[in-house]
């Protein structure tokens, strides 16, 4: 069994608990991340270190995508409200006989 199969899945359908000490990754931290080589007799990187880092990146990416989706929903809600207000104002002008 490889190290990737030993990782635990997030609890709660992808939602994760973060302690107050957790800080989100910054782009420069991802770019500059280096992994220590494996022990003697092995080549490459320690899979546990790599997968732990990839999990952290995935968690941060999920948070960014969730914030983006929320922002898009809010934008759509605001646009719909604006359209309703503009339609109401146009209807009121038409009732008063104004064509502006």
88 has pLDDT over 60: yes
Report how far residue 65's alpha carbon sits from residue 47's, in angstroms, rounded to the nearest whole number. 26
- Write down the pTM of the prediction: 0.54
Q: Who has greater pLDDT, 13 or 70?
A: 70
Are residues 35 and 47 in contact, defined by beta-carbon separation less than 8 angstroms?
no
Give residue 34's pLDDT: 82
7-66 pLDDT per residue, tens: 444 444 445 556 677 777 777 888 888 878 777 777 788 888 888 888 888 888 888 889
């Amino acid at each position: 069994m490889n190290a990737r199969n030993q990782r635990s899945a997030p609890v709660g359908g992808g939602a994760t608990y973060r302690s107050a000490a957790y800080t989100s990754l910054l782009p420069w931290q991802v770019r500059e991340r280096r992994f220590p080589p494996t022990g003697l007799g092995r080549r490459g990187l320690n899979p546990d270190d790599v997968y732990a880092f990839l999990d952290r990146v995935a968690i941060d990416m999920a948070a960014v995508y969730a914030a983006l989706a929320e922002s898009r929903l809010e934008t759509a809600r605001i646009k719909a409200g604006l359209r309703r207000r503009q339609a109401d104002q146009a209807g009121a002008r038409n009732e008063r006989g104004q064509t502006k």
